[in-house]
A and B are shown apart, each in its own frame.
Chain A
Amino acid sequence: MANATSGMAVHDDCKLKFLELKAKRTYRFIVFKIEEKQKQVIVEKLGEPTKSYEDFTASLPADECRYAVYDFDFVTEENCQKSRIFFIAWSPDTSRVRSKMIYASSKDRFKRELDGIQVELQATDPTEIGLDVIRSRAS
């Protein structure tokens, strides 16, 4: 069996979509899934810029792991509009252990492929991706 730490290929689509999010702001969020049979990380869902944070949290399954990238816009205390790109490792307690292991060991290599992530977050239940948590990590 291939070693997950070095064996998980990243589909080209993931990198392309991430660059589009970063440079052209064509997406609000991207959800990635590890396809075990093809041993690849692929894009599962894309969110339009009009989507809200609630749409994003709703698109994460409650008992399966995922990786996600979210472009968070906020206003600072000095009234500046800022945005931060979040990488969220979604690993709910209710998912299978095998799934958690694979996602955890492949995370580092995958993150290195996506250049430009500003904040990383690991969430194990819905309370850890609450809007207040994101806002506090943004600044």
Chain B
Amino acid sequence: MPLLSETYACVPTTERGRGILISGGPKSNSILFTNNRSVLILNLDNPLDVSVYGDHGYQATVARYSPNGEWIASADVSGTVRIWGAYNDHVLKKEFKVLSGRIDDLQWSPDGLRIVACGDGKGKSLVRAFMWDSGTNVGEFDGHSRRVLSCAFKPTRPFRIVTCGEDFLVNFYEGPPFRFKLSRRDHSNFVNCIRFSPDGSKFISVSSDKKGILFDGKTGEKIGELSSEDSHKGSIYAVSWSPDGKQVLTVSADKSAKVWEICDDGNGKLKKTLTCSGSGGVDDMLVGCLWQNDYLVTVSLGGTISIFSASDLDKSPRQISGHMKNVTSLAVLKNVPKTILSSSYDGLIVKWIQGIGYNCKLQRKESSQIKCLAAVEEEIVTSGFDNKIWRVHFQGDQCGDANSIDIGCQPKDLSLALLCPELALITIDSGVVILRGTKVMSTINLGYAVTASAISPDGSEAIIGGQDGKLHVYSITGDTLKEEAVLEKHRGAISVIRYSPDVSMFASGDANREAIVWDRVSREVKLKNMLYHTARINCLAWSPDSSMVATGSLDTCVIIYEVDKPASSRMTIKGAHLGGVYGLAFIDELSLVSSGEDACIRVWRLSPQ
């Protein structure tokens, strides 16, 4: 049975112009954030220790630990709040439909009995507070006319709730049962985040008008501001108090994070400005922050999580990153064992090192989208949606100048002859293009709709799969293809073809859930009945000694077959990636790496049979 050995987590989903809210555990050093439909629990001490909750039916927006650390409440864009166990299997306790639109923020009361949720509702309710186990309402929340971006519960008695939103207002409610008390209109733009200090004496609201305002926790009166000299030059998206309540961390669209000291009179003085190194573009805008015990965590628009140490603010931060979108291709580099390259369709290529995790993002000179990726030694060949093939040499994390070759049509699949990597075979709508280096050798129209292709490592043979399920085997001489054989066994469009590393066999997978292993020389079927998937097969990989074949499918499972045994004695990994498995590669005889729609990459350890 394959066991999960490492997970390289995805990063929080970010949106330009809005902040995101991340939260931390009350006892441990783990943080919670959301990516698409999953909620991730990441351990700051060990970023490889990550746990994923994938049961939301819609995009999840925010998640928070209960004050006793036992439960997590998470919310999504449909207005549903799910409360589930924080450990082990994440068993669901309750699910409530709280608002009629997306939920933007969620907070527990300090005794863990009530939850307040705020967001967008069509019509009446924009904020609701309810008992955690029964869902009964504990107050009436009028006073807002537009989307409520954030809410906070006073952590000490007497209980108060404050909310802030796009109507520039900060509202103060007393209770329980909660009633509107007063409203403050001190901001001149969206109020993005509002938080109580841990002792409940003050709360601070930050806004897109670059100001942060402090209020008294019991009465709601304004007591002071963050000082305007050295203040942020862009919208402030999030704020977080230190555990002792004397300092505050704010992050802003001006790509910096600032630590302020809050004096007793309620004014804030700048203590330190923290900036992270980055590529300097829009992706460096900071959108989320958290002060978790000794760690200061900031999240940038591009998804980079920077972890500073609170006790030593001058130390440069540890940066973790990953993918935000569907990871469509994986490549394992041979010459530097244990290095994995992954690419997602938004054009991001990330380098990972097995055992350590995130290594770096490849800094590409052009940022086009990537559909297919093939990597050999220190060269990457990518194709996107713009009729061009890019060949790039990379060293460490820097890419050299990319050579682009315009092939005239959109490339559908890409395959490199591994022993002579200048030879590449690219399939286009109804034909193929043979590339040698950066020159198009020939464009051949084959007359049928082509869906997948593979070229043998020595470049002498190519197999092209069509929409009708037929596999055409061609021999390559110079720049022409000569058809040698047509194999008909598949009952659906071919989705992937791969040669085995020892070139004695090849395997093909189709959209009708079936995979077949063929003998290369005799072109006979070697292993059939590999029909155990329940949706189209997306990717296929051979183990380095050619003894095992793994297939990954849209049904989120990865199945590993041994070529010498019948197909029924297979190993299945169920639920490998929420949304479907899109990339698969073997690292060595016993380790398999897979990637999928949930933007995570997982390494599995196979026990020898």
User: How many interface residues does chain A have, given as a range?
Assistant: under 10
Which A residues lie within 8 Å of B568 (CB)?
126-127, 130-131
Once bound together, how far apart are the Cα atoms of A94 and B491, in whole Å?
9
**A126–B491 touching, CB < 8 Å:** no
Number of A-B contacts (CB under 8 A): 15
Q: Which residue of A lies closest to B512 (CB)?
A: A93
B532 within 8 Å of A (CB atoms): yes
Which A residues lie within 8 Å of B529 (CB)?
125-127
Once bound together, how far apart are the Cα atoms of A113 and B126, in whole Å?
66
| Given A130-B568, A131-B568, also A93-B532 (CB < 8 A) | no
Min Cβ gap B513→A in Å is: 9
Once bound together, how far apart are the Cα atoms of A131 and B567, in whole Å?
12
Once bound together, how far apart are the Cα atoms of A3 and B567, in whole Å?
39
Min Cβ gap A13→B in Å is: 32
Which B residues lie within 8 Å of A94 (CB)?
491
Once bound together, how far apart are the Cα atoms of A127 and B531, in whole Å?
6
Q: Which residue of B lies closest to A57 (CB)?
A: B568
Q: Which of A93, A125, A127, A130 has the most CB of B within 10 A?
A: A127
Once bound together, how far apart are the Cα atoms of A131 and B568, in whole Å?
9
Once bound together, how far apart are the Cα atoms of A130 and B568, in whole Å?
7
Q: Interface digits, B15-32 against A, CB 8 Å rule (1 contact, 0 not)?
A: 000000000000000000
Which B residues lie within 8 Å of A126 (CB)?
529, 531, 567-568
Once bound together, how far apart are the Cα atoms of A127 and B568, in whole Å?
7
Min Cβ gap B176→A in Å is: 50
**A127–B532 touching, CB < 8 Å:** yes
Min Cβ gap B251→A in Å is: 52
Which B residues lie within 8 Å of A127 (CB)?
529, 531-532, 567-568
Q: Interface digits, B513-539 against A, CB 8 Å rule (1 contact, 0 not)?
A: 000000000000000010110000000
User: How many interface residues does chain B have, given as a range?
Assistant: under 10
Which B residues lie within 8 Å of A93 (CB)?
491
Which A residues lie within 8 Å of B532 (CB)?
127
Once bound together, how far apart are the Cα atoms of A115 and B567, in whole Å?
35
Once bound together, how far apart are the Cα atoms of A48 and B567, in whole Å?
26
Q: Which residue of B lies closest to A124 (CB)?
A: B531
Please provide the chain A residues from 96 to 139 with a CB less than 8 Å away from any CB of chain B in the complex.
125-127, 130-131
Min Cβ gap A90→B in Å is: 14
Q: Which of B491, B567, B568 has the most CB of A within 10 A?
A: B568
Min Cβ gap A89→B in Å is: 18
Q: Interface digits, A59-93 against B, CB 8 Å rule (1 contact, 0 not)?
A: 00000000000000000000000000000000001
Once bound together, how far apart are the Cα atoms of A126 and B349, in whole Å?
40
Once bound together, how far apart are the Cα atoms of A126 and B529, in whole Å?
7
Once bound together, how far apart are the Cα atoms of A125 and B533, in whole Å?
12
Q: Interface digits, B115-144 against A, CB 8 Å rule (1 contact, 0 not)?
A: 000000000000000000000000000000
Q: Interface digits, B397-413 against A, CB 8 Å rule (1 contact, 0 not)?
A: 00000000000000000
Min Cβ gap A48→B in Å is: 22
Q: Which residue of A lies closest to B532 (CB)?
A: A127
Q: Which residue of A lies closest to B566 (CB)?
A: A54
Min Cβ gap B534→A in Å is: 10
Which A residues lie within 8 Å of B567 (CB)?
126-127
Once bound together, how far apart are the Cα atoms of A121 and B532, in whole Å?
17
Q: Interface digits, B452-494 against A, CB 8 Å rule (1 contact, 0 not)?
A: 0000000000000000000000000000000000000001000
Please provide the chain B residues from 531 to 551 with a CB less than 8 Å away from any CB of chain A in the complex.
531-532
Which B residues lie within 8 Å of A130 (CB)?
568
Min Cβ gap B581→A in Å is: 19
Q: Which of A94, A125, A126 has the most CB of B within 10 A?
A: A126
Which B residues lie within 8 Å of A125 (CB)?
529, 531
Q: Which residue of B lies closest to A125 (CB)?
A: B531
Once bound together, how far apart are the Cα atoms of A130 and B531, in whole Å?
11
Once bound together, how far apart are the Cα atoms of A71 and B212, in whole Å?
77
Once bound together, how far apart are the Cα atoms of A126 and B566, in whole Å?
11
Please provide the chain B residues from 553 to 571 with a CB less than 8 Å away from any CB of chain A in the complex.
567-568
Please name 6 further chain A to chain B contacts, defined as beta carbons within 8 Å, in addition to the given A93-B491, A125-B529, A126-B531, sorted by A numbering. Answer: A126-B529, A126-B567, A127-B529, A127-B568, A130-B568, A131-B568
Interchain residue pairs with CB less than 8 A apart (15)? A93-B491, A94-B491, A125-B529, A125-B531, A126-B529, A126-B531, A126-B567, A126-B568, A127-B529, A127-B531, A127-B532, A127-B567, A127-B568, A130-B568, A131-B568
Q: Interface residues, chain B, CB within 8 Å of chain A?
A: 491, 529, 531-532, 567-568
Q: Which 4 A-B pairs have the closest CB atoms?
A: A126-B529, A127-B531, A127-B532, A130-B568
